[in-house]
A and B are shown apart, each in its own frame.
Chain A
Amino acid sequence: MFKLNLKIAWRNLWKNKGYTLINILGLSIGMASCILIFLFIRYQLSFDEGIKNEDRIYRFVTDWKYDAFDDYSNAVAIPAVKTAKNEIVGIEKAAAIFRNWNIVRVKDATGKDVIKKDETIYYVEPDFFEIFGMQWLYAKPTTALNEPNTVALSETAAKHYFGNAQNAIGKNVTMGNKTLLKVSGVFKDMPKNSSFPLNIMVSYQTYPNKNDECWDCVSSGNEFYILLKDGLKAKDIETSLAQFNKKNYADRKVAGNQNNKLEALRDIHFSEHYDNFSNLTISKNQIYGLGIIALFLIITACINFVNLSTAQAINRAKEVGVRKVMGSLRKQLIVQFLTETFLVTLAAMLIACVLAELAIPQMENLFKGNIAVGLFQHPIIFLFMLCLVLFVGLLAGFYPAIIMSGFTPALAIKSKIMLNNGGLSLRKVLVVVQFSIAIILIISTIVVMRQMEYVQQKQLGFNANEVIMVGVPNDSLNRLKHENFKERLLKIPGVKKVSYCQDAPLSPNINSSDFTFNGIKNKDFEVRRMKADEDYFSLFDLKLIAGKLFAKSDTANGYVVNETFLKKVHITNPQEAIGKTINSTGQNIPIIGVIKDFNDLSLKDNISGLTISAGKNSYWRAAIKLDAKQIFEANKQVEKLWNSLFPEQIYYSNFVNESINSQYETEKIMGILFKVFAGVIVFISFIGLFGLMSFVATQRTKEVAIRKVLGASTLELVKMLNGSFLIMVFIANLVAWPLAYLFVSKWLSGFAYRIEISIWPFAMAMIISMVITLITVSIRSYKAAVANTIDALKYE
């Protein structure tokens, strides 16, 4: 029976090739998108999985509660590491891991550098390896990093430095200029889906500041992990932790209600407040969002299926009737129709796998190689595909099967079955739902694209065209060369201006601090303290509106503040501000100038209160303004000069505008995803519409023919056939608008600087959807309208 069902199903599908193609095409594209989304979500959820005691591993994080705002850090104060181990009960093992950047070199016998590379290094306590159950290729796990001046390398790093992993043991690498480190172990590479991109791990005892006693200094690279004793959970040590917090922060009067909390290992990747070493966090909301889009996609594809199947049901009515009088139970008919659906679904799944496989490289590209997904990565992917087939098969097949198997045989045999004669049929509702989804996505895509355009074109209040930022070493020795470097830079043809600074005007890398203004402690906001030399203002074209700029100086002797700062301390006339003092460093320093506001953070944030002052010790970058015509040549000259002046170091530069744009990476990816998914859903919806239209046209062939005989023109007939579809799409627009409005306004609220939501994206979505609908259905209705009348009327 099953075999026959299969055979009949196959013949039926073959007979209706057009509809089958539409069904399979729509379903496979929808499924492929779903598979890709699933792969992505599974990959994200797999972060840091498979560590032996993962449910007992926690990270110490630090929270602050100020009056006006909260702050969060993934790191701890250095003395907390030692103290926590002693004071908190229930810790089995604990280990600090501190991130740092340094130059790592491998020298040959004569002392010449063979390899010189800027690397991220981690100072770790030996217990770290045991907490995380890391696998060693060579070395004794327990002793590897017990001594100062030892280093453990990942397999990749070892190969890079010494050719092969085994060779590396016992060899030396140089960190910075003179710290010699002995390689005491090689560990297996960390997987890509890890929050710990560890390559070079230096023993904690080598860490120069390990005895630091500053409880309110929390530097973002200093993480601390603990492994709880067997059977304990975070809440079991809550009291102990509270005591620890009281004793070490509250009792010491550390500012901002600073305290430590525990964060479970598997939450790190989804943390919204706390960063991590891999910089790859994703919020659970984003994952849910993607899941919803996947659901949308699959529903849209299923709707096609349901619509086409129920539309075709009339053709199958006779068969149903005959089968029933031959003794088929309704159940058996349902099984037969479901077999057909599953055959289609299965075929679609196979095609979807191929499509997904083709799309994976594009997807990895989109995420800049930060993800590694594959169809054969994990058995659960097959389970998912199986579930998807079952889900889609049932969702798409069940309703039509119920409808078709329910025909009364006496009527069915005489082809007197009428489906949905007038009224609000399910099919119409489904088309409206489908198009509402499509239209929501069209509107969202337009808004996202416009916002990104706006972000790119918005005047930021400074001019960073043709400005490159070059990293400069800033240790006490190299600092002496700064003056010389600047002078020689200015002699290079094509270099117009040079300024030493902390970073470009728009940068997240500026620290902020609480302060007293004119002797009164400010509790409303923290001031961002930007350090730059006197040429910074003219180089970036920052406009002075009151007072004067500071003169050449090594340390801060006067602040230039921005308008926002004045607004926040309630001063309306810039002139009034001149001479007032700010204390954020322990020193009272007067305001000497006020500049016009510029965007100092990405457009997601408002302009902050800002002070700019000289501060030689913070000059990590040189901003260099180049002549537009000689950029390429001058750039090369700059690099050459740099290398000759700082031979020990590694040159690094980038254009300011590029790094500003890179701040919108997530939004850009989101924009692309929206475009792709909107495209897919729109495509699926419209092929479904085309299928439905073909069916309606066939159904009404006779009516059309009779009307023609009565004198209707082709245009009138096309209009008649198109009418109901245009109305459905119009209603879908009305349904979609409020939903889309809610969504886009929520998304835009994430930007401090955003476009106004106008009627245009909505109107455009309507025009687009109506025009495509018109074209799609007209292709088919025109054909029906010009068909030969005699053919249609010949029968019966």
Chain B
Amino acid sequence: MIELKNIEKYYANKGVKSYILRHVTTTIKQGEFVSIMGPSGAGKSTLLNILGMLEEPTYGTYEFMGENVTSLNERKRIELYRNHIGFVFQAYHLIDEMTVYENIEAPLLYKKVGSAERASRIANLLDRFNIVAKKDLFPNQLSGGQQQLVGIARALAAQPSIILADEPTGNLQSAQAEEIMQLFQKLNKEDGITIIQVTHSEKNAEYGNRILHIADGVVKGDVQV
């Protein structure tokens, strides 16, 4: 599903190149649950951003579903966002001015899903995540764990084939974190959604089936769990 070939990322500053990523080459198949681990500043987030097409690599090629997406125009990229990729953020990043319901609805609106279909999908998600009662609340009225649930529900609304999660439990207490990770596992196993997460925690990484260890921009280990 994802093929990275020799990805490099560096910033040139006064003639000195400071590398973030070096020679990253890897393949991620449909249905995998990959955790990217490594110390702070190792380049985990940058790698995830490149995977999510939020940043472009300085060098190398990136194929997504058999298509070269190394540098893509806005329209095509957004087409991918609408249909294939869901994002989950450490700080949830719900839109403060929207209710839970509207937050989940937003990607569907961009995808131009009909209103009946929209309503049923959202009802489904609310139900599945046990947040039906919260649908008319605003993000700041929810706990962190609940916000992250909404964040995941939002990511799932457009029925993506892959979810990119940047430290999804970083701001959560351990009990809530566990709940989220179980959810991810379930999504991966039952719905076959590919998940790539960046995490610090060994424990969270265990939920996946493959771990990429990164240090100083280089992939140091690729372990199947």
Contact = CB atoms under 8 A, between A and B. Distances in A.
A4 B107 CA distance: 12
B179 interface: no
A319 interface: yes
**Residue in B87, B94, B102, B158 with the greatest tally of chain A CB atoms within 10 Å:** B87
B109 A318 contact: no
A326 B81 contact: yes
Chain A contact residues: helix, strand, loop or mixed: helix
B93 A327 contact: no
Contacts of B5: none
Given A330-B74, A410-B49, A323 B106 contact: yes
Interface in A387-425: 408-410, 413
Interface string A412-441: 010000000000000000000000000000
A325 B75 contact: no
A12 B97 contact: yes
Contact of B109 (A1, A410, A413): A1
Interface in B48-98: 49, 52, 54-55, 74-75, 78-79, 81-82, 85, 87, 89, 93-98
B43 to A, nearest CB: 14
B78 A327 contact: yes
A322 B95 contact: yes
Contact of B102 (A4, A319, A329, A330): A4
**Residue in A12, A318, A321, A410 with the greatest tally of chain B CB atoms within 10 Å:** A410
Given A1-B109, A327-B111, A322 B78 contact: no
A295 B49 CA distance: 47
Contacts of B87: 325-326
A1 B106 CA distance: 9
Contacts of A327: 78-79, 81-82, 107, 110-111, 158
A328 B94 CA distance: 15
A584 interface: no
A458 interface: no
A412 to B, nearest CB: 10
B44 interface: no
Given A409-B54, A410-B54, A413-B89, A326 B106 contact: yes
Nearest to B164: A325
B45 to A, nearest CB: 9
A325 B52 contact: yes
A272 to B, nearest CB: 57
A588 B81 CA distance: 102
Contacts of A325: 52, 54, 81, 85, 87
Nearest to A408: B54
Contacts of B85: 325
Nearest to B81: A327
A321 B107 CA distance: 13
A8 B109 CA distance: 14
A11 interface: yes
Contacts of B106: 4, 323, 326
A4 B109 contact: yes
Contacts of B94: 322
Interface string B131-159: 00000000000000000000000100010
Interface in B154-185: 154, 158
Contacts of A413: 54, 89, 93
B97 A8 contact: yes
A332 interface: yes
B54 A326 contact: no
**Residue in A7, A11, A330, A408 with the greatest tally of chain B CB atoms within 10 Å:** A11
A15 interface: yes
Contacts of A15: 96-97
Contacts, number: 66
Contacts of A4: 102, 105-106, 109
Interface in A298-347: 318-319, 321-330, 332
A334 B82 CA distance: 18
Contacts of A318: 93
Contacts of A1: 109
**Residue in A322, A328, A330 with the greatest tally of chain B CB atoms within 10 Å:** A322
A332 B110 contact: yes
**Residue in B78, B93, B154 with the greatest tally of chain A CB atoms within 10 Å:** B93
Contacts of B78: 324, 327-329
Contacts of B109: 1, 4
Nearest to A15: B97
A326 B109 CA distance: 10
Contacts of B93: 318, 321-322, 413
B136 to A, nearest CB: 13
Contacts of A332: 110
A323 B78 CA distance: 11
A413 B74 CA distance: 18
Nearest to B155: A326
A698 to B, nearest CB: 16
Contact of A319 (B95, B105, B158): B95
A413 B87 CA distance: 11
**Residue in B74, B94, B96, B154 with the greatest tally of chain A CB atoms within 10 Å:** B96
B110 A8 contact: no
A11 B89 CA distance: 24
A106 B46 CA distance: 99
Contacts of A11: 97-98
Interface in A1-26: 1, 4, 7-8, 11-12, 15
Nearest to A409: B54
Interface string A197-212: 0000000000000000
Nearest to B83: A327
A146 B61 CA distance: 98
B197 to A, nearest CB: 16
A14 to B, nearest CB: 9
A321 B166 CA distance: 14
B144 to A, nearest CB: 14
A171 to B, nearest CB: 75
Contacts of B107: 326-327
Contacts of B110: 323, 326-329, 332
Contacts of B154: 326
B89 A8 contact: no
Nearest to A8: B97
B99 to A, nearest CB: 9
Nearest to B89: A413
A795 to B, nearest CB: 12
Contacts of B54: 325, 408-410, 413
B95 A410 contact: no
A722 B55 CA distance: 39
A311 B109 CA distance: 29
A329 B74 contact: yes
Given A4-B106, A11-B98, A330-B74, 9 more contacts: A8-B98, A12-B97, A319-B97, A324-B81, A325-B81, A328-B110, A408-B54, A410-B54, A413-B54
Interface of B: 49, 52, 54-55, 74-75, 78-79, 81-82, 85, 87, 89, 93-98, 102, 105-107, 109-111, 154, 158
Interface of A: 1, 4, 7-8, 11-12, 15, 318-319, 321-330, 332, 408-410, 413
17 contacts: A4-B109, A8-B97, A8-B98, A11-B98, A318-B93, A319-B97, A322-B95, A325-B85, A326-B107, A327-B81, A328-B78, A328-B110, A329-B74, A329-B78, A408-B54, A410-B49, A410-B55
A-B residue pairs, 10 tightest by C-beta: A327-B82, A410-B54, A327-B110, A327-B81, A11-B97, A326-B107, A325-B87, A322-B93, A410-B49, A8-B97
